Amino acid sequence: MKKIINLKVNGDIYELAIEPWRTLLEVLRENLGFTGTKKSCGLGTCGACTVIINGSPVLACLTLAFEVEGIDILTIEGISQKGSLHPIQESFIKHGAIQCGHCTPGMIMSAKGLLDKNPHPNKDEIKKALAGNFCRCTGYKKIVEAVEAVSEGK
């Protein structure tokens, strides 16, 4: 049985009819076309689906869309604005922190969640903040360097 929901994604309100058991990840990708948020495990183990809700990184695959009705949801599509990339994105590109790129949007959202609260984290804080994000390609070294560089304004 579908119900009407109002979702606030990247500052815009979307009204749509969905089943109450749909996850935020499904609704973002399938109903709204925000496929920048990637789907991998669907179980909360990989962080590919990370979005920012109320300022904190959240796993969209473990969140029901109805739980976040009316709350500010920020997806990867919302962080680069007016055609210019977010400094974290720039830094990932510059430092070679992207390989296959499937984990990248989630990784960047986790990094943003950290840097918004703690603009100058140390290496360990960065590693902890990214511990929930699985990357099989890079070995994380360049990802941590990229986040560090943002915090140091490099």
Q: Which residues bind other proteins (CB under 8 A)?
A: 19, 29-30, 33, 35-43, 45-46, 48, 75-77, 80, 85, 89, 92-94, 96, 98-105, 108, 126-128, 130-131, 133-144
Any bridge partners for residue 15, and if so which?
Answer: 6
Among 24, 46, 53, 74, binds ligand FES (CB under 6 A): 46
- DSSP conformation letters of 99-132: SS-SSHHHHHHHHHHHHHH-SS--HHHHHHHHTT
Q: Binding of ligand FES at residue 61 (CB under 6 A)?
A: yes
Q: Which of 131, 139, 93 has its CA nearest to residue 111?
A: 131
R_g of the chain, CA atoms, integer Å? 15
Least Cβ distance, residue 110 to ligand FES (angstroms): 11
139 binds ligand FES (CB under 6 A): no
